[in-house]
Structure 1
Amino acid sequence: MIPSSAPAGGSPLPLDELVRTTLFHRHAFEGTESTSFGVALPGSAFPLLSQGDHPTLGTPSWYFHPCESAAAVEEIMNELGDQQIANRILRWMEAWFMVHEAVIVAASRTPVGSLNGTLKSFTATQLGTAALKHALSSKNIDPKIVEEVYFGNVVQAGVGQSPARQVALNAGLSPSSDATTINKVCASGMKSIMLAAQAIQTGDRSVVVAGGMESMSNAPFLLPRQNPAFGKFTTIDSLENDGLWDVYNNQAMGNCGESAARAWAAGVFNNEIAPLTVKGKKGDTIVKEDEEYKRVIYEKVPSLKSAFKQGGSITAANSSPLNDGASALVIMSAEKAKELGLTPLAKIVSYADAGVEPVDFPIAPTVALPKALEKANLTVNDIALFEINEAFSVVVRIAEKVLSIDPAKINVNGGAVALGHAIGSSGARIVVSLVHALKSGEYGAAGVCNGVSLIFYCSIASTKMISVFRAEQQKEKTVETVTIESQDGDEALRLVGTARTTQFSEEYNLKLRRKLDLLIPPLCAAVYFTQFLDKTSLNYARQYHGHYNLVSAAFYFGFLVWEFPTVYISQKLRVAKYLGANICVWGVILMLHAVGTSFGAFFALRFLLGMCESCVAPILILIISMFYKKNEQVMRSLRLHVNGISFYTGNRLAPYKIIYILLGGLAIVVGICVLIWMPDSPVHAKFLTKEERIAALERVRDDQGGTENHRIKREQIYEALLDIRTWLIVLTTLLTSVPNGGLSNFSNLIIKGFGYSSKQTLILSTPAGAVAAITTLLCGWYSDKKSERMIPIIFALVPTIIGTALLVGLNDSGQKGALLFGVYLVGTFGSALSSVYAYNASNTSGHTINSMCLFSFAIGNIIGTQIFPPGDAPAYIPGKISIMVLLTVQLAISVLLRWINMRLNKKRKAKLEELKVERGWSDEDVQKEREKNAFADMTDKQ
């Protein structure tokens, strides 16, 4: 591969001889008989080495001090007229005029474990320590001679200070050795090798360890240290935030399997693997094989959906997974290896840089590799094996096509898609595998496209060469758009990103919805059913008749007082777990009602019960909105009320103490079920696979409702206070809650006031539950079918208004049948209240706005308990008139709110059309913006 040139004499002259005759002149030093080559520059201050004195190249040799290189190059350039030949000479000189050669003498790696797989019990530093110990012991290298350590590690949260230093000390290196942790994302391990080589080539070090490590299974979720008093905390997934997030574009980054299987079956990786011992209850397990490739189900590959766009070619089958693993290489100067009697595996001889736009990172190797080949005066055909890290298989396919690389030379033993991609280790892992795969006399190239680009060429006595290259991603200028900070968005943002990465078929989504329906609505209904029984228990187990109204209000006083604290506490905890704990506590409190012996004790118990139950409605509606699309939410929200109303179908009335004990025990059972099975959000739904969790989030992306966000946003509060719709919704909740507070405690008293006995009252109250249940189901069906929210509320209010009018107008008529009919009509208001909840969940995208209705709910229920004073018994005419008037006002507000929403929708549609023209957006661009903001916890205006 050394070119030649024809001298004046006519015979071909090798390029190395041309350089020697041009730059060096044979002469004798005074006081010695030896002959040496010296730079032809008079008065040089740098000493010259005689033949045989070059520290690494052997005898015969020639050498000149690197500080003379500029002058030497200038001299030879003046004597050569051909610029192309001059450039080739320059590259040739750069490859050989080094003070020291850097050689790889040992290379090991751990098996690569799947996310939360067999290696999940190992921290990143434990994996790194295992890899380094194995590398040192494989060549019987004394750890104390290592002078410096460079180790890559990307997700360092929770790992502890200076991860590389931990590895060094745990592996038995001298405390005086230096250690540096490198974070270049996927290229971290490769950058470590480059720095180690540079330290040796410059003569600063003689023995350096390089490698990388990552335990993606142990990447923690993070909470901010400080947060507003009543804001929602953001749980940040450090795995995605620190390791998988493209800060330039604000998005998640994302035949190999057969090759990996064949390589493992043939024992190709045996020499490089550092086995790990996993402790277990049933004994220790030795892990000495990669885990990921064995999980491939080839039959599913054809049916996998595209990741980034509909009809795209990127799927889970050709993208690298998340993994655990570590790699380590021992790099020495050639003279140190000779001194220790170690045979090098490869020599590092050169490197180069290249850069591309971030979104074009798959093509980076096609820019970097030609530079490296040109620098080494080689071609693609001179390389025996290529190791190109497969963040995606397309990286390899592009390099293969653009550079005309023989596919049989690339990742011959499988790439990261099959073997795994532990990001801090991968750059070093591919070098470890390539070093062991090359045969004597072969050249190899390895690379990973990320971060600052570099290229290594390695050769030992003209036997092996390894080219390591990485390509830089330059910051890209993007079109004007909304930037979403990960801490501001929902936790779902860190799982699926701002852009839709996967498309799921309608059949798949229907199957997923059926799976959700088997767990979430029944659990939610059980919770609401329990709460409804708790609140209405006063109807059947009343004590302290003279203070019945005050006892009834005690529940909502507790609800009102604890509302803000419960919001604050729930933001520090997982919402479903917080809900389950509250249910268990209120079960105990309800059972204590049976031993209440005084009005004060009974009032206190009702107050505490209200405190515990203050979290129920907002959490249940939030969970429903996180798992279901807007056109599915209302029906499932209203089903909660159907179960609650079904209480009226109960059996024979039991003594009040038994009622409280039974209801308390039921609450505890339900609370335990919620703690075990209720998911906090699709992100944490353990009953779903990872693919199903992503599918669940993608189902609701277009609704712009988001999932969980644990930060309060002042701008959302200001927007809510200035938006007339917010106050109309608050007023709607208040007006609908007043009848709820009154009728849930006094409905049976009203029926009994018609002249019926207690048993007759119980029987006659059953149809009221049936009417309310039917109304609720009809409202939910119509709302989801027509995507309407206000019309069902109006539909539910009108019968209640008519029913109260009948009760007032026919009070002294003695027509019990007509009065009972009026009572049954009054029960329809319950579906109006649940429809208001569903409206809040689906029409107010920012979570912060939703919390404003909670106060009005509590206040309305407190008022409701006071509109039926004992002095108005048994007719309670003022209370009935109050309900009729309030709901009539509510009817008008619902009509007004619907008109305002329709008007705003028309304005937004017109504004959107203007933006499409102004920014040149297509319908597809608009959809992408919607998808991007879906989990950003932004309000409609934002």
Structure 2
Amino acid sequence: MADDSHGVKEASEHVDGIFEHVEDNISVAPKVDQRHAEMYAEALRQYPDEDSIDREAEKKLKRKLDQRILPLLGICYFFYYVDKTTLSYAAIFGIQSDLHLKGTEYSWLSSIFYFGWLFWSIPSNLIMQRCPPAYYLAFNIFMWGVLLMAQAAAKDFAGLTVLRILSGAFEAIADPAFMLLTSMFYTREEQPSRISAWYAWNGIGVAGGGLIGYGIGQIEGALRSWRYEFLVVGALCTFWSIVLLLLLPNSPTTFWGFNKQERLLMIARVRRNQTGVEHQKIKWGQIKEAYLDYKTWLFVLFGFLGAIPNGGISNFSTLVIQGLGFDTLHTALLGIPQGVLIVIWIGLGAVVNKYMPPNSRTMVSALFMLPTIAGGGQSKKMIVSGMVWFGSCVGNIAGPFFYKSEQAPSYHLGIGSLLVANVAEFLLFFVFRYAFKWENRRKEKVRAALREAGVITDDTEGLNATAFQNLTDGENPNFVYVY
């Protein structure tokens, strides 16, 4: 780890641009670097500190936010999962024989999806920073649907490969967009339970995919069942994108159905995060900081380890089940109990996290293997988010190749890769825990050094001054890691 004195010097340099010295006293100007800056400034004036927030009004607002945001993100995540696993159900409906797939071509179709994701993940994150995020997400979901329907017309391996690459590129924004929208409206203490709420739809997607697959398997039409699979799921995706365009908010300042007072309270609440909310400017210095930050590469490793099992299971689970002697329709139906178990497991993790002492997230995550959320300045946040999914792409690309066709249906190597990756991921949570505790101690030394120099950063005025500036976790002396 680097010498703490270097961190103190760096933080002092950043603080000079945040705090203004006036003679012997310190006055703090609550600068705002956000879209709709005037509303953020008004929120800080009306709610200058935590004591000025009425807790009953805040509870009522949270309930309303939950009702308006979580179902939308949850259904998005449902389609996000079903879209990725449509190929898996197409496999049991005969796509391999119909398209004359040979050798490792099915594995390549599973992996090639993530080449598009890999190529486009970081550019897509940076584009989202410049666009209204809800509109950008809705556009991408519309394209998921269009490309899925196009896959129904595939004639050979080459044509399907091109469509899978394009589908992966448009799906690259999904998880980062869900995380961004969650962090925009909820405090860091509230985020784990809200992430769990929409992430649980992953399990509903597993179960729903099974039901959809079973229903499509009953169709006796002019087309093969796997082609109907792509057409039906694709049409549902395009319809949902239109709903999303109309209902999902882009910003606390423009969220329809909420009056101005509620919007101001939305903004004032997330001051606690010390990460800002919405920024349009790309700061290249923050991008450089993201690539040089060791924590970024820990998150890349985290994404990689978490995706190795997913890359194989999401595309080979139906083949494993079918290989155990089940017919096509029962193989599709067996996705339902798997999905129910996922929902229960995620919900249980959220409940345990809620009642654990503060800073227990990594311990709960190690226990339940659920992801945590990273926050920072917006450009850095977009890059780190993209880098997590970069690691995830590499893992998803590699995962299917552990499932050797000659080892069917037991796939010993594939199951072994799952176990090794999960154990390594489990250990990595403890690395995160140590790193974040060390960073928090370093931050406190920085604040102590600044206090000795006559600069108080963590009083009410100081917190307001840093809350809505476009600062990274490294630049902001008041940012504290939750672990």
Alignment of 1:629-778 (within 5 A): 629-650=187-208, 651=211, 652-654=214-216, 655-778=225-348
Does 2:65 match 1:516?
yes
The verdict on how the C-alpha distance between 1:919 and 1:687 changes in structure 2, with shifts beyond 3 A counting, is same
The offset of 1:566, in angstroms, is: 2.1
Match of 1:887 in 2: 422
Query: Per the alignment, in what secondary structure is the counterpart of residue 564 of structure 1?
Result: helix
**Counterpart in the other structure of 2:12:** none
CA distance in 1, matches of 2:350, 2:250: 24
Q: Give the C-alpha shift of residue 722 in structure 1.
A: 3.3
Rounded Cα–Cα distance in structure 2 between residues aligned with 1:520 and 1:478: 47
What is the 5 A alignment of 1:537-616? 537-542=86-91, 543-544=95-96, 545-546=101-102, 547-616=105-174
Query: Structure 1 residue 844: deviation in Å?
Result: 9.3
Contact 2:276/2:469 (<8 A) preserved: yes
- Which of 454, 458, 474 does residue 919 from structure 1 map onto? 454
Contact map agreement 1:633 1:784 (CA 8 A) in 2: no
What does residue 467 of structure 2 align with? 934
Separation in 1, partners of 2:307, 2:204: 20
CA RMSD of aligned residues (A): 2.8
| 1:283 alignment partner in structure 2 | none
Structure 1 residues 485 and 844, CA, compared in 2 at 3 Å: closer, same or farther? closer
The match for 2:85 is: 536
Q: Which residue of 2 aligns with 1:795?
A: 367
Contact 2:89 2:332 in 1 (8 A): no
User: Could you list the per-position Cα deviations for residues 342-386 of structure 1 after superposition, in whole angstroms to 9, with x for gaps in the alignment?
Assistant: xxxxxxxxxxxxxxxxxxxxxxxxxxxxxxxxxxxxxxxxxxxxx
Equivalenced residues, count? 429
Determine the structure 1 residue equivalent to 2:3: none
Structure 1 counterpart of 2:13 = none
> Partner of 2:190: helix, strand, or coil?
helix
Query: Does the C-alpha gap of structure 1 residues 746 and 494 become closer, same or farther in structure 2, counting only changes over 3 Å?
Result: farther
User: 1:495 and 2:39 equivalent?
Assistant: yes
Q: For the residues of structure 1 that align with 2:271 and 2:24, how far apart are their CA atoms?
A: 23
Cα–Cα, structure 1 residues 724 and 585, in superposed 2: closer, same or farther, change >3 Å? closer
Aligned residue identity for 2:409: P
Query: Are 1:897 and 2:432 matched, yes or no?
Result: yes
- What percent of counterpart residues are identical? 30
Which of 387, 394, 414 is matched with 1:859 structurally? 394
| Unpaired stretches in structure 2, ≥5 consecutive residues | 1-16, 217-224, 476-483
Query: Is the CA contact (8 Å cut-off) linking 2:378 and 2:470 kept in structure 1?
Result: no
The structural deviation recorded for 1:505 is 0.6
Question: d(CA) in 2 for partners of 1:525 and 1:679?
Answer: 15
Q: Are 2:74 and 1:525 equivalent residues in the alignment?
A: yes
Distance across 1 between alignment mates of 2:299 and 2:414: 23
Secondary structure of the residue aligned to 1:840 is coil
Query: Which deviates further from its counterpart, 841-850 or 864-873?
Result: 841-850
TM-superposed CA distance for 1:841, in Å, is 4.2
Counterpart residue number, 2:403: 868
* TM-fit CA distance, 1:756: 2.7
Change (3 A) 1:750 1:500: farther
Q: Which residue of 1 aligns with 2:480?
A: none
Alpha-carbon separation, structure 1, partners of 2:416 and 2:376: 32
Change (3 A) 1:845 1:932: farther
Query: For 1:791, what is the secondary structure of its paired residue?
Result: helix
For each residue in 1:423-465, what CA deviation from the matched residue of structure 2 results, as whole angstroms up to 9, or x when unmatched? xxxxxxxxxxxxxxxxxxxxxxxxxxxxxxxxxxxxxxxxxxx
- Offset of 1:908 from its aligned partner? 2.6
SS in 1 for 2:46: coil
State the alpha-carbon separation in 2 of the partners of residues 874 and 554 from structure 1.
23
Q: Tell me how far apart the structure 2 counterparts of residues 554 and 631 of structure 1 sit (CA, whole Å).
A: 37
2:44 and 2:268 in contact (8 A); partners too: no
Counterpart mapping for 1:238-317 below 5 A:
none
TM-score by length of 2: 0.81
Q: By how many angstroms is 1:561 displaced?
A: 1.9
CA distance in structure 2 between the aligned counterparts of 1:915 and 1:616, rounded to whole angstroms: 40
Task: Map 1:22-171 onto structure 2 (within 5 A).
Answer: none
Instruction: Read off the aligned partner of 1:665 and give its amino acid letter.
Output: A
**More relative contact order, 1 or 2 (CA 8 Å, 6+ apart):** 2
What whole-Å deviation, never above 9, does each CA across 1:724-781 have from its counterpart, x for those lacking one? 2221122111111111211111122222333333333334332222221111112223
Amino acid at match of 1:516: L
Per-residue deviation at 1:491? 2.2
User: Given the superposition, is the C-alpha separation of residues 478 and 752 from structure 1 closer, same or farther in structure 2, using an over 3 Å criterion?
Assistant: farther
Contact 1:701 1:931 in 2 (8 A): yes
Q: Would the aligned equivalents of 2:81 and 2:206 in 1 still touch at CA under 8 Å?
A: no
Q: Is the alpha carbon distance of 1:868 and 1:479 closer, same or farther for their aligned partners in structure 2, counting shifts above 3 Å?
A: farther
1:871 to 1:703, Cα distance in 2 relative to 1, 3 A? same
Q: CA offsets, 1:674-712, max 9 Å, x none?
A: 111111121221222221111101111111122121222
Letter of the 1:928 counterpart: E
The AA in structure 2 aligned to 1:501 is Q
Equivalent pair of 2:29/2:465 in contact (CA under 8 Å): no
More strand by share: 1
CA distance in 1, matches of 2:37, 2:122: 26
Taking a change above 3 Å as real, the CA distance of residues 737 and 927 of structure 1, as seen in their structure-2 partners, is: farther
Cα distance in 1, alignment partners of residues 297 and 378 from structure 2: 13
Determine if contact 1:587/1:664 at 8 Å carries over to the other structure: yes
Whose radius of gyration is greater, 1 or 2? 1
Measured in 2, the distance between the counterparts of 1:633 and 1:492 equals 24
Q: Give distance in 2, aligned partners of 1:843 and 1:639.
A: 25
CA distance in 2 between counterparts of 1:645 and 1:507 reads 33
User: CA 1:580 to 1:604, structure 2 compared with 1: closer, same or farther past 3 Å?
Assistant: same
SS of structure 2 residue aligned to 1:919: coil
Contact 1:500 / 1:931 at 8 angstroms: preserved in 2? Answer: no
Identify which of 56, 60, 67 aligns with 1:507.
Answer: 56
Q: Distance in 2 between matches of 1:681 and 1:862?
A: 34
After superposing the two structures, state which structure 1 stretch, 709-718 or 912-921, moved more: 912-921
Counterpart-to-counterpart distance in 2, 1:777 and 1:614: 25
Task: Note the C-alpha offset of 1:483.
Answer: 7.0
CA distance in 2, matches of 1:794, 1:691: 40
Do the aligned partners of 2:117 and 2:169 also contact (CA within 8 Å) in 1? Answer: yes
* 1:840 aligned residue: 374
Q: Is contact 2:300–2:388 with CA below 8 Å preserved after alignment?
A: yes
| Matched-pair contact (CA < 8 Å) for 1:705–1:845 | no
Is the Cα–Cα contact under 8 Å of residues 146 and 234 in structure 2 kept in the other structure? yes
Once residues 785 and 693 of structure 1 are traced to their aligned partners in structure 2, the CA distance between those partners, rounded to angstroms, is 29
- Matched letter for residue 840 of structure 1: A
